[in-house]
Structure 1
Amino acid sequence: MSRELTYLITEENIGTSPLTIHGFLKGRGYSHAVLVSLKKTPEGILKNGVWARVHDTLSPGDRLLVRLAEEKTSDHIVPRPLPFPVIYEDEDLLIVNKPANMPIHPSQGNYENTLANAAAWYFCQKGESFVYRCINRLDRDTTGLLILAKHTYSAALLSRMVTVRKIHREYLAVTKGVPDVSGIVDAPIGRKDGSTIERQIDFVHGETARTHYELLTSEDGYSLVRIWLDTGRTHQIRVHMKYLGYPLPGDFLYCPDYTKIRRQALHSYRLSFLHPISQKPLSFTASLPDDMRAFFSASTLEQL
Structure 2
Amino acid sequence: MERFSIHWTIDSNHSGMVLRDFLIREKQVSRSALTDIKFSGGALLVNNKAVTVREVLAEGDSVTVIFPAESASGSMKAVEQGLSIIYEDEHILLLNKPPYLPTIPSRHSKTSLAQGVLYYYKTKKIDRTIHVVNRLDRDTSGIVLIAKHRYAHDLLARQQKKQEINRLYRAVVHGYMNESTGRIDRPIGRKENSIIERCVREDGQRAATNYEVIKRAKDCSYLSLWLETGRTHQIRVHLSSIHHPLVGDDLYGGKMDKIKRQALHSYKISFFHPFTGEKMTFKASFPEDMSNLIDKNFDSIE
Same fold, TM-score > 0.5, yes or no: yes
Q: Give the equivalent residue in structure 2 for 1:237.
A: 235
Contact 1:43-1:51 within 8 A present in 2 as well = no
The answer on whether the counterparts of 1:104 and 1:140 sit within 8 Å (CA) in structure 2 is yes
Q: 1:251 to 1:42 in 2, by over 3 A?
A: closer
Letter in 2 for 1:12: N
- Partner Cα separation in structure 2 for residue 236 and residue 173 of structure 1: 13
CA contact (8 A) 1:222 1:295 kept: no
Give the distance between the partners of 2:253 and 2:155, measured in 1 at CA: 37
Identity, % of aligned pairs? 35
Q: AA paired with 1:10?
A: D
Q: After superposition, where does 1:162-173 map in structure 2 within 5 Å? A: 162-173=160-171
2:190 equivalent to 1:191: yes
The Cα shift of 1:294 comes to: 1.7
For the 8 Å contact 2:176–2:218, the answer to whether it is kept is: no
* In 2, Cα distance between equivalents of 1:151 and 1:301: 43
Partners of 1:90 and 1:175 in 2: CA distance: 36
What amino acid maps onto 1:127 in structure 2? Answer: K
Shift of 1:224: 1.2
1:1-304 correspondence to structure 2 within 5 Å: 1-14=2-15, 18-27=16-25, 28-40=27-39, 44-68=43-67, 70-110=69-109, 112-179=110-177, 180-202=179-201, 204-297=202-295, 300=298, 303-304=301-302
**Contact 1:45-1:53 at 8 Å conserved across structures:** yes
* Paired residue secondary structure (1:297): helix
Q: Amino acid of the residue matched to residue 5 of structure 2?
A: E
1:147-179 CA deviation, whole Å, 9 max, x = no partner?
Answer: 111111111111222222111111001111121
Q: Deviations over 1:56-81 (max 9, x none)?
A: 11112211122335252322110111
Separation (CA, whole Å) in 1 of partners of 2:301 and 2:121: 40
CA offsets 1:158-208 (integer angstroms, 9 cap, x no match): 122222211111100111112121111112222211111111121x31222
**Contact persistence 2:294–2:300 (CA under 8 A):** no
Kept in 2, the 8 Å contact 1:47–1:65? The answer is: yes
* TM-score, normalising length: structure 1: 0.91
1:43–1:68 distance in 2 versus 1, CA, 3 Å: closer
Aligned residues: 299
| Two-structure CA RMSD over aligned residues (Å) | 2.0
Tell me the alpha carbon deviations over residues 228-263 of structure 1, each in whole angstroms, 9 at most, x when there is no partner. 011111111111111122110111311241111111
SS at the partner of 1:296? helix
What SS is found at the alignment partner of 2:107?
A: coil
- Cα separation, partners in 2 of 1:43 and 1:123, compared to 1, 3 Å: closer
Which runs of 5 or more structure 2 residues have no equivalent in the other structure? none
Sort the Cα spacing of 1:6 and 1:210 in 2 relative to 1 into closer, same or farther, 3 A: same
**Structure 2 length as normaliser, TM-score?**
0.92
